[in-house]
Amino acid sequence: MLGQDNRPGLAPQIWFAIVMAAIVVGLLVVHQLDLDDGVVQEAVHLQIERLQASAAEKEERDLGEDPLDGAEPPGTEIESEAPAMAPTPGWQSPTPRPTPTRRPPEEPRRDHYWLERPIRPAEDAAAARYYPYGSRMDGSYPIHHGIDIVRPLGTPVVAPASGVVVVAGDDDTQVYGARTGFYGLLVVVQLDQRYQGMPVYVLMGHLSEVHVSVGQHVAVGDVLGLVGETGYAEGPHLHTEVRLGRNDYYHTVNPELWYRPLEGRGTLAGLLMTHDGEPVTTEAKLVLRRDGQYLFEVFTYPDGPLNPDPEWGENFAIGDLQPGNWTAEVFYGGVLYTSEFQISAGRTTWLVMEVR
């Protein structure tokens, strides 16, 4: 009779659990209630149906569930003894991660350089090239969720846009990165402006001092703190991130598409894709040359915790390139691919490279 009730689609482990549970229920019913065979069979059959329905619901939930949707980021519980770290309501109202946008290359994309440089003068605030967004440096570092600006200890860090301070203090008990103590002293500003309906957050980490407090409204150029080396840092520098939708480590996008390029410089964003139209999800290294000289390396984002910009849909980007004619080279699958592109001052150039 149990075999006749077997329903297709259930995993063997689930079916085994159903059978065993049904047998146990049947024995308990006979032993404790001394019911007749018809009642026993009806009770067993009812229990099987309940277990099958429960298993089917769980299977459907597991298949359709996005582990990030509706889930609070790790460490959003604020310790009562650290009121300065209290987040804004944006933390309690989860919004979707930025959606990768892979539109046809000929469709126009728009720049959104909302942020001024967080170091003054701006010429001193170029992003370090040894550890760009989305890279692992030499393979021994974690995937980088932001960019680094190397400046001496105590250099003022200023607000890149107007907004409200939502985090100001240390991360010893509250997780804002990969773990507690990751950024040391940090400041997070939620911008007054929203992007495609999503809140925008800018994080400044590894500070030596914090000069603002939670709830304070800041304008462009207001001092937030001083460059330091707190948290996981090997020397004085500023780590900065842009987060969309939630103030969360897994909602970052490439800051080089948000910080205004240095005077007379431009930005490159692009998509390295296979011949069947799928983006490359491994860390491929592109070498950028100008006038035949090796200048920079940029890496495609690895599959996992990083997000392309909703406007660009890129899997690599780099800022502050000199205007003129450039060549990109990538060695992929044993083949060297090259592509020429042109950089214009004050804007982003879009480049698509196809590999096999």
The domain limits of the chain are: 3-64, 83-95+114-257, 266-355
Q: Where are the alpha helices (DSSP H) in the chain?
A: 12-28, 37-64
266-355 CATH pick, 3.40.140.10, 3.40.50.1980, 2.60.40.10, 3.40.190.100: 2.60.40.10
Query: Positive or negative, the Cα torsion across 138, 141, 147, 151?
Result: negative
Instruction: Say if CB 257 and CB 267 are below 8 A apart.
Output: yes
Query: Positive or negative, the Cα torsion across 76, 79, 82, 83?
Result: positive
Residue 286 phi, psi dihedral angles, 5° rounding: -105, 130
Instruction: Say if CB 184 and CB 226 are below 8 A apart.
Output: no
Residue 187 phi, psi dihedral angles, 5° rounding: -135, 135
> pTM higher than 0.75, yes or no?
no
What tokens does 270 get?
A: 């692009």
| Largest pairwise CA distance in the chain | 92
Separation of alpha carbons 323 and 228, rounded Å = 33
E strands, the chain, in order? 147-149, 156-158, 163-170, 185-191, 200-210, 217-218, 223-227, 238-244, 252-253, 266-274, 285-290, 293-299, 316-321, 324-332, 335-343, 348-355
Model pLDDT, residue 303: 84
Model pLDDT, residue 305: 83
Model pLDDT, residue 65: 39
Model pLDDT, residue 342: 97
Chain CA centroid to CA 145, Å: 7
Model pLDDT, residue 106: 56
Which one, of 128, 348, 159, lies nearest residue 257 by Cα?
348
Per-residue pLDDT of the chain (356 residues; tens, 9 = 90+): 333 333 334 444 444 444 455 544 444 434 443 433 443 344 434 444 444 444 444 444 443 433 333 333 433 333 323 333 444 333 333 344 554 444 444 567 899 999 999 999 999 999 999 899 988 876 778 899 999 999 999 999 999 999 999 999 999 999 999 999 999 999 999 999 999 999 999 999 999 999 999 999 999 999 999 999 999 999 999 999 999 999 999 999 999 999 999 999 999 999 999 989 899 988 899 999 998 898 999 999 988 888 999 999 999 999 999 999 999 999 999 999 999 999 999 999 999 999 98
For β-strands 266-274 and 348-355, DSSP reports them as: parallel
Superfamily classification of domain 83-95+114-257: Glucose Permease (Domain IIA) (2.70.70.10)
Instruction: Say if CB 329 and CB 290 are below 8 A apart.
Output: no
What tokens does 80 get?
A: 């009562």
Instruction: Say if CB 310 and CB 196 are below 8 A apart.
Output: yes
